Structure 1
């Protein structure tokens, strides 16, 4: 099921802020406790904190509760993020914004609005609401993405997250096929399958692929607990919600792993393994704690008011989640605070 390469809607030379290898954080959207209104001051504080830690910026994803936001709120989040970056000297940091929704038509509209608000790239999840009809209908799912790739004014990253798409899970063949579209610049794999990522990376890093595509392709695992093995398997970095809490630690893991792979240094590899031990422990705690737990941890361990509360019906962190985080984040937070 080969995809005929299409003309790029935006050539690399027109991209003012190129996407690069590295570690990125899907930001939470902080809501005020009493009104559930967006706390833009807290959002901008977090944007600058992550930029200072050299963590890339992703907004309006799963952690950002994009499905809980109105279209105006989505655009406002992007504008606030761009403003925070630009006014603090981070004008070259790109914004990757989530625009996936139930139909190709609306996803394209949201992508246009994201561009107008200041986004540089978009990330699109499969339409999970009709998974009972589409889950095994790969031609229809492929058409959805081809339509979006054709119609989006910004380069598109495919977001493969079965847990947030009612079980829809793409294999490497499907992703490799979409990667041939000139407006597809990457894939986020929140399916935790390193082998899938390796096959996709091997294809998109080949000389033949590069000859057909002027823009690089980025394979980004959706968890930091597999960052080291994923980098060994040619991944470009990762996009991790745990970056909301321990960004400097995850950046340190990435830097150490890249140095070890570049030099073959045994000591650097062992240092990367030890950091991966630390990050894997923290990442698992954050995954189990969910969005409410992530927001609680930001308020409790980083800065009061930074995380806020989830929007209903997502629950805030309860006693058990708070205890889980106190244990699961203890070592990682100590290391984070030492950097």
Structure 2
């Protein structure tokens, strides 16, 4: 692990250096969101049938029995006073995202998740389920066979599960029944919302749009918004103007960031990361506990009993590390990586060192821990 880190950091530095040398402008459609052009979340409560004995236990999930009774009564089956004990049905929550400008009859993907004590949704079929938006109105209806992403198997004394069999999806499993009321043609001004607000990037977007149209049609209102006057673009409609604007190329400005993932030991640095001259000392403390129980048996034909005597071996080892090492001031990412590589430590130790360098005020970048 210790030998692998320098190679990884050097490869990262080379990759980012090459990217910086050949910086490619990005399309505006990949940097901004257009005002009003957004998706809407949908949710519904439904029933999955056809499970192979892996559904809800109705005694533990009474809401499943209630929705099943209501569904059968709507189909003309009188189940008043009946007791249900099947294991092939499960109550689920159905979620979907209604894309912008979705029209009636358009298909929408849905996700189905069990909310009771069902153990698997494999092979189940979702019965017609209305999907509501935040305003309480029904915008889509979902139904279809569930594709679960997990595997579950069990025997008499053991079971094994891989993935999450209690959640699945239905591609194109919902049909749009109601359209979202939004008329793009009535807009006189379109606002561009930056996904990563930045004053420099917003200013470049304003300049790029004005240069493309040859007149002042865009103005930066803040770090996250650029407003475009549709009338001054001389385009037939706002849709035509947006179609032209979204393909304009802009080189975004990126903040200096260091992102670390403590679970996997991953460290990612941006090309603008800088570090001041600093001295670092790092050592490891290892605690060892080993259980080696011994079996003591009585003499042959004696009345004694065989017993297990616990035996524990412990030890503490302090690795002095590399002593006090100097990390020189880095004016580029490759120099920063070279300085950190001089410490020759493992990725998890490197994360702690970066935290300490930041606390000392020598790391000039935003530090994000995930």
Q: Please, what TM-score do these two structures have when normalized by structure 2?
A: 0.20
More strand by share: 2
Quick check: which has more Rg, 1 or 2?
A: 2
More helix by share: 1
